[in-house]
Amino acid sequence: MSYTAWIISIGNELLIGKTVNTNAAWLARKLTLLGYNVRRIITVPDAEEDVVEVFRDAVRRGVRVAISTGGLGPTFDDRTSEYLAKALGRKYVLNDEALRMVVETFKSRGLELTEPRLKQAKMPEGAKPLPNPVGTAPGIWVEEGNTIIIALPGVPAEMMSIFENYVEPKLREIGPRLHFVERSITVKGVPEADLAPIIERGMKMSGRVYIKSHPKGHEIRSPLVEIHVYASAEDARGAEDEVNRVINYLITAIRERGGEVLSG
């Protein structure tokens, strides 16, 4: 069973550089900690052609989980739910359960049930609404073939609240039951290019540990490099031991090379 995940970010504001995509980083972190292998983050505009295409791609390629953010609000271009129905070849219908959620939210606050609000209860046929503890638009959970598609609002507080309350527990249940383990060290005084052979030898010490260097300072004048070591494994303890073994090797080799290890 493959546990690949895609994150689909919908919104012109991301493509014109008005907004930094913090939602995607947050979801990527969550999915990684749940043991999923996030293979793509794809940002598309609020346009039918693009949104339909990316959902279809995720299903066609058998991605296990595709999570989208954005396009569930009340305005004219919030049409993720409609495009998702189209991508799946399903009807776009008023969902009874979603309607109850939406009606309840508005009635309890004495707000009118206008057309833009009612729209938030329309979903692809067969979808399951996810309650929104913070806002009004329910999230959407729908399965097609091997793929679970989850559509969440773009407002970070709403996205996070639906995810933590109604998505995370389910994804943990059906998930790969892997543990993500990581450690970082920061190295001063050795250019990244001179760390490269050390890192390569560290990689060869373990089949499941990945090492990535992140230059922080000025490459030549005052090199400062973070080295991030991580692994996903069924047994957390074994993975931890392996990460530590690699980290210890790196620290020793870097000190021998004259580098200073600042943290770790």
**DSSP secondary-structure letter at 147?**
E
To a second copy, the closest distance from the beta carbon of 62 in angstroms equals 15
Shortest gap between Cβ of 103 and a second copy (angstroms)? 14
Question: Which of 255, 177, 246 is closest to 210 using CA atoms?
Answer: 246
Q: Which residue has the tokens 């739910």?
A: 81
**Choice between 145 and 221, CB closer to a second copy:** 221
What is the smallest separation between the CB atom of 126 and a second copy, expressed in angstroms? 26
| Residue 144 Cβ vs a second copy, minimum distance, rounded to whole Å | 22
Q: Which is nearer to a second copy, 93 or 210 (CB)?
A: 210
- Is the Cα torsion angle 184, 185, 186, 189 positive or negative in sign? negative
Q: How far is the CB of 257 from a second copy (least distance, A)?
A: 13
- In the chain, the amino acid numbered 215 is P
Q: Is 67 exposed, middle or buried (0-12, 13-18, 19+ CB in 10 A)?
A: buried
In the complex with a second copy, the residue whose CB is nearer, 11 or 142, is 11
Closer CB to a second copy, 142 or 223, in the complex: 223
- In the complex, minimum distance from the CB of residue 164 to a second copy, in angstroms, rounded to a whole number: 15
Which of residues 126 and 249 has its CB atom nearest to a second copy in the complex? 249
3-state SS, residue 146: coil
Give the C-alpha separation, 74 to 72, whole Å: 7
Binding stretches for a second copy (CB under 8 A): 9, 11-22, 24-32, 38-46, 50, 73-77, 105, 109, 111, 114, 116-117, 134-136, 155, 158, 180, 191-197, 199-200, 203, 210, 212-215, 218-220, 228, 230
Smaller CB separation from a second copy, 27 or 130: 27
The answer to whether 80 and 70 have CB atoms below 8 angstroms apart is yes
227 exposure class (CB count in 10 Å sphere: 0-12, 13-18, 19+): buried
Q: For residues 7 and 26, what is the distance between their CA atoms, to the nearest angstrom? A: 11
